[in-house]
Amino acid sequence: MHCSVRVWTMYSTLSSWHTYLETYDILSDRQYGFRRNWLTSDLLAYAIRIRNEAIEKHGETLGVSLDISKAFDRVWHEILVSKLSSFGLPAGLNAWIADFLSDRSIRVVIDGSSSGQMAIN
């Protein structure tokens, strides 16, 4: 499949999925990433307000930050697909996600030079 067609298909599917999550109010009120009109600056303003309230109430506060950038690299894909199905995700979309998560590979192209393909586990 041509890359631009696949990217467009993925964008269209994810857009539909996003609409589904928003329509049925599945996302947490604290989910700021990948949401229309929910900016990082909104999250920072919320965090600062909570911090200031804690300082006023208790005189001190403690913040903890976790780097979970690779957290989903180790998600068991079968369980993820099963969970999505249990949330009522349409079967076709669930099958598309399952297909997307299987037999993946990546390669880098810079100025016309291409690396070899590497499997993504």
* CA distances from residue 89 to 14, 19, 102 in whole angstroms, order as listed: 12, 12, 19
Q: Which residues contact 105 (CB under 8 A, 6 or more apart)?
A: 117, 118, 119, 120
CB 64 within 8 A of CB 47: no
66-76: pLDDT as tens digits = 565 565 567 78
In which element (H, E) is residue 109 found?
Answer: strand 109-110
Q: Give the predicted TM-score (pTM) of the model.
A: 0.41
Confidence of residue 1 (pLDDT cuts 50, 70, 90): very low
- Residue 4: what pLDDT? 64
Mean pLDDT, rounded, for 58-80: 73
Q: pLDDT (tens digit, 9 = 90+) per residue, 6-33? A: 666 766 777 777 778 778 877 777 777 7
